[in-house]
Amino acid sequence: MNLNNKKIIVTGGSLGIGKATAKLCVEKGAKVLITGRDQHRVETAAKDIGAIPMVFDISNESQIKAKTKACLEALGGIDALINNAGIGEFGVLGDLTIKHFESVFNTNVFGLALLTQEVLPEFKAQKSGNIVNIGSTAATKGFAHGTVYAASKFAVRAMTQCWQAELRKDNIRVFLVNPSEVTTAFNQTDRNEKEIEANKLTPNEIAHVIVGNLEMDNRGFVPEINIWATNPF
Protein backbone atom coordinates (compact mmCIF):
# COMPACT_ATOMS: atom_id res chain seq x y z
CA MET A 1 0.00 0.00 0.00
CA ASN A 2 1.31 3.40 -0.94
CA LEU A 3 0.88 5.50 2.21
CA ASN A 4 0.55 8.81 0.36
CA ASN A 5 -2.87 10.31 1.15
CA LYS A 6 -3.91 7.23 3.14
CA LYS A 7 -5.94 7.76 6.33
CA ILE A 8 -4.50 6.14 9.44
CA ILE A 9 -5.48 5.96 13.12
CA VAL A 10 -2.73 5.27 15.66
CA THR A 11 -3.93 4.60 19.22
CA GLY A 12 -1.58 5.59 22.00
CA GLY A 13 0.08 7.90 19.53
CA SER A 14 1.42 10.59 21.85
CA LEU A 15 4.48 8.65 23.02
CA GLY A 16 6.92 5.92 22.13
CA ILE A 17 6.11 3.44 19.39
CA GLY A 18 2.81 5.11 18.55
CA LYS A 19 4.31 8.56 18.10
CA ALA A 20 7.28 7.25 16.09
CA THR A 21 4.95 5.27 13.82
CA ALA A 22 2.58 8.18 13.33
CA LYS A 23 5.51 10.47 12.51
CA LEU A 24 6.88 8.09 9.90
CA CYS A 25 3.42 7.66 8.33
CA VAL A 26 3.05 11.45 8.11
CA GLU A 27 6.46 11.68 6.46
CA LYS A 28 5.24 9.15 3.90
CA GLY A 29 2.33 11.46 3.05
CA ALA A 30 -0.42 9.85 5.12
CA LYS A 31 -3.15 11.72 6.97
CA VAL A 32 -2.77 10.48 10.54
CA LEU A 33 -4.92 10.78 13.66
CA ILE A 34 -3.39 9.90 17.02
CA THR A 35 -5.28 9.10 20.21
CA GLY A 36 -4.26 9.45 23.83
CA ARG A 37 -5.74 9.91 27.28
CA ASP A 38 -3.83 13.07 28.23
CA GLN A 39 -5.13 16.09 26.31
CA HIS A 40 -1.98 18.19 26.62
CA ARG A 41 0.32 15.34 25.68
CA VAL A 42 -1.70 14.17 22.66
CA GLU A 43 -2.19 17.71 21.34
CA THR A 44 1.51 18.51 21.77
CA ALA A 45 2.56 15.31 20.00
CA ALA A 46 0.10 15.91 17.16
CA LYS A 47 1.42 19.42 16.62
CA ASP A 48 4.99 18.13 16.71
CA ILE A 49 4.50 15.48 14.01
CA GLY A 50 1.69 16.98 11.92
CA ALA A 51 -1.12 14.65 13.00
CA ILE A 52 -4.71 15.14 14.15
CA PRO A 53 -5.18 14.78 17.94
CA MET A 54 -8.08 12.94 19.57
CA VAL A 55 -8.46 12.55 23.34
CA PHE A 56 -9.71 8.98 23.60
CA ASP A 57 -9.39 6.45 26.42
CA ILE A 58 -10.01 3.11 24.73
CA SER A 59 -10.27 1.37 28.10
CA ASN A 60 -13.55 3.23 28.67
CA GLU A 61 -16.17 1.14 26.88
CA SER A 62 -18.75 3.92 27.02
CA GLN A 63 -16.51 6.16 24.88
CA ILE A 64 -15.67 3.73 22.12
CA LYS A 65 -18.61 4.07 19.74
CA ALA A 66 -18.85 7.86 19.79
CA LYS A 67 -15.10 8.49 19.83
CA THR A 68 -14.45 6.09 16.96
CA LYS A 69 -17.11 7.86 14.92
CA ALA A 70 -15.43 11.19 15.71
CA CYS A 71 -12.06 9.79 14.59
CA LEU A 72 -13.49 8.57 11.28
CA GLU A 73 -15.21 11.91 10.66
CA ALA A 74 -12.03 13.85 11.43
CA LEU A 75 -10.04 11.70 9.00
CA GLY A 76 -12.74 11.43 6.36
CA GLY A 77 -12.43 7.65 6.25
CA ILE A 78 -9.79 5.08 7.15
CA ASP A 79 -7.26 2.86 5.42
CA ALA A 80 -5.31 1.55 8.41
CA LEU A 81 -5.84 1.14 12.14
CA ILE A 82 -2.73 0.72 14.27
CA ASN A 83 -3.74 -0.67 17.66
CA ASN A 84 -0.77 0.49 19.70
CA ALA A 85 -2.29 1.66 23.01
CA GLY A 86 -1.31 -0.67 25.81
CA ILE A 87 -0.42 -0.82 29.49
CA GLY A 88 1.31 -3.30 31.77
CA GLU A 89 0.89 -4.73 35.24
CA PHE A 90 3.60 -6.97 36.69
CA GLY A 91 3.25 -9.05 39.81
CA VAL A 92 3.83 -12.56 41.08
CA LEU A 93 1.14 -15.16 41.52
CA GLY A 94 -0.11 -14.76 45.07
CA ASP A 95 -0.24 -10.98 44.92
CA LEU A 96 -2.62 -10.55 41.97
CA THR A 97 -6.14 -9.17 42.20
CA ILE A 98 -9.00 -8.93 39.72
CA LYS A 99 -8.24 -5.19 39.45
CA HIS A 100 -4.83 -5.96 37.93
CA PHE A 101 -6.44 -8.06 35.23
CA GLU A 102 -9.27 -5.59 34.58
CA SER A 103 -7.03 -2.56 34.19
CA VAL A 104 -4.76 -4.27 31.65
CA PHE A 105 -7.38 -6.23 29.73
CA ASN A 106 -9.70 -3.21 29.43
CA THR A 107 -7.03 -1.49 27.32
CA ASN A 108 -4.92 -4.24 25.77
CA VAL A 109 -7.74 -6.62 24.84
CA PHE A 110 -11.29 -5.34 25.27
CA GLY A 111 -10.74 -1.76 24.10
CA LEU A 112 -8.57 -2.90 21.21
CA ALA A 113 -11.18 -5.38 20.02
CA LEU A 114 -14.20 -3.10 20.42
CA LEU A 115 -12.49 -0.19 18.66
CA THR A 116 -11.51 -2.46 15.77
CA GLN A 117 -15.07 -3.71 15.58
CA GLU A 118 -16.34 -0.13 15.19
CA VAL A 119 -13.91 0.48 12.31
CA LEU A 120 -14.62 -2.82 10.56
CA PRO A 121 -17.75 -1.73 8.63
CA GLU A 122 -15.68 0.95 6.88
CA PHE A 123 -13.11 -1.63 5.80
CA LYS A 124 -15.75 -4.11 4.65
CA ALA A 125 -17.66 -1.48 2.69
CA GLN A 126 -14.56 -0.46 0.73
CA LYS A 127 -13.28 -4.05 0.45
CA SER A 128 -9.87 -3.05 1.79
CA GLY A 129 -8.18 -2.15 5.04
CA ASN A 130 -5.25 -2.78 7.33
CA ILE A 131 -5.26 -3.66 11.02
CA VAL A 132 -1.93 -3.63 12.85
CA ASN A 133 -2.02 -5.04 16.36
CA ILE A 134 0.99 -4.26 18.53
CA GLY A 135 1.61 -7.35 20.57
CA SER A 136 4.85 -8.22 22.34
CA THR A 137 7.39 -11.00 22.42
CA ALA A 138 5.55 -11.70 25.69
CA ALA A 139 2.77 -12.98 23.40
CA THR A 140 5.03 -15.88 22.42
CA LYS A 141 6.52 -16.89 25.78
CA GLY A 142 5.57 -16.14 29.36
CA PHE A 143 8.01 -14.91 31.99
CA ALA A 144 8.24 -14.42 35.73
CA HIS A 145 5.98 -11.56 36.94
CA GLY A 146 4.25 -11.58 33.54
CA THR A 147 0.97 -13.32 34.36
CA VAL A 148 -1.30 -10.37 33.60
CA TYR A 149 0.64 -8.65 30.84
CA ALA A 150 1.66 -11.79 28.95
CA ALA A 151 -1.89 -13.15 29.19
CA SER A 152 -3.21 -9.95 27.61
CA LYS A 153 -0.70 -10.16 24.76
CA PHE A 154 -1.39 -13.87 24.21
CA ALA A 155 -5.04 -12.80 23.86
CA VAL A 156 -4.09 -10.17 21.27
CA ARG A 157 -2.13 -12.80 19.35
CA ALA A 158 -5.11 -15.17 19.38
CA MET A 159 -7.53 -12.44 18.28
CA THR A 160 -5.19 -11.44 15.46
CA GLN A 161 -5.11 -15.01 14.15
CA CYS A 162 -8.92 -15.21 14.32
CA TRP A 163 -9.32 -11.94 12.43
CA GLN A 164 -6.85 -13.05 9.78
CA ALA A 165 -8.99 -16.14 9.19
CA GLU A 166 -12.20 -14.10 9.08
CA LEU A 167 -11.14 -11.08 7.04
CA ARG A 168 -8.86 -12.24 4.24
CA LYS A 169 -11.90 -12.75 2.00
CA ASP A 170 -12.67 -9.04 2.42
CA ASN A 171 -9.15 -7.98 1.36
CA ILE A 172 -8.47 -6.81 4.92
CA ARG A 173 -4.92 -7.44 6.09
CA VAL A 174 -4.31 -8.08 9.80
CA PHE A 175 -0.73 -7.87 11.07
CA LEU A 176 0.77 -8.70 14.47
CA VAL A 177 3.97 -6.88 15.43
CA ASN A 178 5.76 -8.19 18.54
CA PRO A 179 8.43 -5.86 19.93
CA SER A 180 10.79 -7.03 22.63
CA GLU A 181 12.09 -4.48 25.16
CA VAL A 182 11.91 -0.92 23.81
CA THR A 183 13.06 2.25 25.57
CA THR A 184 9.74 4.09 25.89
CA ALA A 185 7.50 5.45 28.64
CA PHE A 186 5.79 2.06 28.91
CA ASN A 187 5.15 1.12 32.55
CA GLN A 188 6.67 4.41 33.72
CA THR A 189 4.42 5.90 36.40
CA ASP A 190 5.47 9.44 35.40
CA ARG A 191 4.89 8.62 31.70
CA ASN A 192 8.29 10.07 30.78
CA GLU A 193 10.29 8.38 28.05
CA LYS A 194 13.23 6.24 29.19
CA GLU A 195 16.73 7.19 28.17
CA ILE A 196 17.87 5.57 24.91
CA GLU A 197 20.30 2.68 25.47
CA ALA A 198 22.73 1.73 22.72
CA ASN A 199 21.96 -1.99 23.02
CA LYS A 200 18.16 -1.72 23.33
CA LEU A 201 15.49 -1.17 20.72
CA THR A 202 14.03 2.30 20.18
CA PRO A 203 10.55 3.18 18.91
CA ASN A 204 12.05 3.93 15.50
CA GLU A 205 12.91 0.29 14.81
CA ILE A 206 9.35 -0.78 15.55
CA ALA A 207 7.91 2.05 13.45
CA HIS A 208 10.12 0.97 10.55
CA VAL A 209 8.74 -2.58 10.73
CA ILE A 210 5.11 -1.41 10.95
CA VAL A 211 5.41 0.96 8.01
CA GLY A 212 7.38 -1.58 5.98
CA ASN A 213 4.59 -4.09 6.42
CA LEU A 214 1.93 -1.58 5.44
CA GLU A 215 3.89 -0.59 2.33
CA MET A 216 3.96 -4.14 1.01
CA ASP A 217 1.80 -4.57 -2.09
CA ASN A 218 -1.78 -5.28 -1.07
CA ARG A 219 -1.64 -8.78 -2.56
CA GLY A 220 0.45 -9.97 0.40
CA PHE A 221 0.95 -9.48 4.12
CA VAL A 222 3.14 -10.69 6.99
CA PRO A 223 0.90 -12.33 9.60
CA GLU A 224 3.31 -11.96 12.52
CA ILE A 225 6.78 -10.56 13.08
CA ASN A 226 9.00 -10.41 16.17
CA ILE A 227 11.59 -7.65 16.64
CA TRP A 228 14.55 -8.28 18.94
CA ALA A 229 17.55 -6.20 19.90
CA THR A 230 20.67 -7.74 18.32
CA ASN A 231 22.66 -7.86 21.56
CA PRO A 232 20.80 -6.50 24.59
CA PHE A 233 23.29 -7.83 27.15
Marked catalytic residue, from 149, 154, 175, 186 = 149
Active site residue 210: no
Per DSSP, what are the bridge partners of residue 36? 55
Contacts of 219 (CB under 8 A, 6+ apart): none
Three-state secondary structure readout of the chain: CCCCCCEEEECCCCCHHHHHHHHHHHHCCCEEEEEECCHHHHHHHHHHHCCEEEECCCCCHHHHHHHHHHHHHHHCCCCEEEECCCCCCCECCCCCCHHHHHHHHHHHHHHHHHHHHHHHHHHHHHCCEEEEEECCHHHCCCCCCEHHHHHHHHHHHHHHHHHHHHHHHHCEEEEEEEECCECCCCCCCCCCCCCCCCCCECHHHHHHHHHHHHHCCCCCCCCEEEECCCCCC
Helix axes 39-49, 16-27, angle to 10 degrees: 30
Question: Are 93 and 151 within 8 A, CB to CB?
Answer: no
The residues carrying an active-site annotation are 149
